[in-house]
Amino acid sequence: MKTAQKKYDILIIGAGAAGMAAAVTAGEQAPGARILVLEKKEEPGKKILATGNGRCNLSNRNCPGFPEIRPFFRHLGILTREEEGRIYPYTEDARDVRDALKDRMDQLGVECITGAAVTGIRPPEQGKPFRITWKGGETHADQVLLAAGGKAGPAFGTTGDGGKLAGSMGHRITRLAPVLSAVETKEDLSRAAGVRTPAEVGVWSAEDPVFRERGELQITKYGISGIVVFNASRCLTIPEGKNLRNGFDDYTIRVDLAPDMKLEQVRTMLTEEQALRPDRTPLRVLLRRNLADFLWEQAGERVSEAAELLKNWPLHPKGVKGWDFAQVTKGGVPENEVDRTTMQSVFVPGLYLAGEVLDYDGPCGGYNLQHAWETGIRAGRAMAVRFSGEE
């Protein structure tokens, strides 16, 4: 294991998207700064490698900060391409993105110690620097960036350490929840498992609609999945005062399996299909066999009820698939507890926060990585400016 110096100008906790973007930015804009990155896992950027199913969905054209990201990666040697608004590296290989960041850090002389799970930060006292301890060592730094992530994807090292460290520095942590994940339903859908079909998915909280989106719906043994469901999961949060046992009781998911047709059109089509082919489930004209047969049975083998079910299939969520399956953490340090221009803590001068440790969650499609790059770059730039002013 590498050993640290006694003191650094800038110390970054977490070599994920935000931390690596900050390290590169600070290293370029403050060439004389001594910079250390501490990473819990055995290699930097492990979560980056898994993004976009290995293709690395870097950003989205609809993100306000997108114009800043493309030149940042072009400078690192990463060309990008667009696919329905989503931005990918031209090679569509997440490893190229991670390696470009890591290589640039090496070129800039940024030190990186892996296998270093940070256990504590002591804030500056009477002009003294921060004291950072981890399993295997300790050091001091004039400025610290906390970019240790949330709790989603613990296999990548994000197990809630960032929130605990932020809390120890006086920050509030809003309730954490796994989002951009599949949904478990109270209904047993195992007979239709494996079906993928276009649908419009809506979420109701009591009688109030809170979400509606079209996309590909996937039926699973435990419930429903697919990007449209991942996005819906952002609305399925447990209200204050409730728990996992009863926290989702007020929600209903309503699925429209024929979003391009009106109810009367569906009813007419099913009536005609039943007359033409009375020996098979009329829903087969619109749906895959096992889903069609399942819903036909649920409708009591009656056309009118089947049409209603096709246009308004109610499902009741039992929960969101947990941290091991979630792509993003909902909750964290409220963004009003940092200066949005510099990402510096409003409580502790010299402490910065970026990435998933903050209370931000966006939909699928590059929004969350964009947030990580953007906040990391802002923090890196601000730390470089502060270093230059104090040098």
**Rounded average pLDDT over 239-261:** 91
User: Comparing 108-122, 136-150, 238-252, which segment has the lowest mean pLDDT?
Assistant: 238-252
Please report the pLDDT score of residue 391 as a whole number: 46
Q: What is the pLDDT of residues 28-74, one digit of tens each?
A: 999 999 999 999 999 999 999 999 889 999 999 999 999 989 999 99
Q: What is the pLDDT of residues 365-388, one digit of tens each?
A: 999 999 999 999 999 999 999 999
Angle at 84 between CA 154 and CA 288, to 5 degrees: 80
Paired tokens of 188: 């047993």
Alpha-carbon distance of 236 to 230, in angstroms, equals: 10
Regarding whether 163 and 242 lie in a shared domain, the answer is no
User: What mean pLDDT is reported for the chain?
Assistant: 95
Number of other residues whose CB lies within 10 A of the CB of residue 115: 15
297, 320, 343 - which closes a domain? 320
> Per-residue pLDDT for 4 more than 80?
no
Q: What is the pLDDT of residues 73-89, one digit of tens each?
A: 999 999 999 999 999 99
Alpha-carbon distance of 22 to 354, in angstroms, equals: 9
Collapsing DSSP states into helix, strand and coil, what is residue 114? coil
Regarding whether 75 and 12 lie in a shared domain, the answer is yes
Residue 135's contacts (CB-CB under 8 Å, 6 or more residues apart) are 116, 117, 119
Alpha-carbon distance of 191 to 188, in angstroms, equals: 8
Please report the pLDDT score of residue 390 as a whole number: 58
Collapsing DSSP states into helix, strand and coil, what is residue 187? coil
Regarding whether 288 and 142 lie in a shared domain, the answer is no
274, 289, 320 - which closes a domain? 320
Residue bearing the bigger pLDDT, 7 or 239? 7
In angstroms, what CA-CA distances link 334 with 172, 182, 257, 387?
7, 25, 38, 26
Regarding whether 160 and 15 lie in a shared domain, the answer is yes
Domain of residue 290 covers 183-320
Collapsing DSSP states into helix, strand and coil, what is residue 86? strand
Q: Is residue 1 part of a domain?
A: no
Q: Is residue 162 part of a domain?
A: yes
Please report the pLDDT score of residue 244 as a whole number: 77
Place of tokens 């964290």: 332
Q: Is residue 168 part of a domain?
A: yes
Please report the pLDDT score of residue 283 as a whole number: 96
Q: Is residue 2 part of a domain?
A: no
Model pTM score: 0.93
Regarding whether 15 and 124 lie in a shared domain, the answer is yes
**Rounded average pLDDT over 22-28:** 98
> Per-residue pLDDT for 2 more than 90?
no
Regarding whether 159 and 187 lie in a shared domain, the answer is no
Regarding whether 243 and 331 lie in a shared domain, the answer is no
**Rounded average pLDDT over 172-185:** 96
Alpha-carbon distance of 159 to 315, in angstroms, equals: 31
Regarding whether 70 and 217 lie in a shared domain, the answer is no
| Chain-centroid distance, C-alpha 387 | 31
Regarding whether 47 and 89 lie in a shared domain, the answer is yes
Cβ(114)–Cβ(44) below 8 Å: yes
In sequence order, what are the beta bridge partners of 217? Answer: 197
Q: Is residue 255 part of a domain?
A: yes
Percentage helix, strand, coil for the chain under 3-state DSSP, each rounded to 5: 35, 25, 40
Q: What is the largest CA-CA distance in the chain?
A: 86
Beta strand pairing call for 251-256 and 223-225: unpaired
Nearest alpha carbon to residue 203 among 249, 246, 252, 248: 252
Regarding whether 349 and 255 lie in a shared domain, the answer is no
> Per-residue pLDDT for 177 more than 80?
yes
In total, how many domains does the chain have? Answer: 2
Q: Is residue 286 part of a domain?
A: yes
Please report the pLDDT score of residue 76 as a whole number: 97
Dump strand ranges (E) for 257-354: 313-315, 317-320, 328-330, 351-353
Alpha-carbon distance of 216 to 168, in angstroms, equals: 42
CATH number at residue 24: 3.50.50.60
Q: Is residue 124 part of a domain?
A: yes
Regarding whether 276 and 238 lie in a shared domain, the answer is yes
Regarding whether 259 and 239 lie in a shared domain, the answer is yes
Alpha-carbon distance of 160 to 96, in angstroms, equals: 27
Question: 221: pLDDT confidence band, cut at 50, 70 and 90?
Answer: very high
280, 304, 320 - which closes a domain? 320
Q: What is the pLDDT of residues 255-304, one digit of tens each?
A: 999 999 999 999 999 999 999 999 899 999 999 999 999 999 999 999 99
Q: Is residue 343 part of a domain?
A: yes
Please report the pLDDT score of residue 5 as a whole number: 80
**Rounded average pLDDT over 323-349:** 96
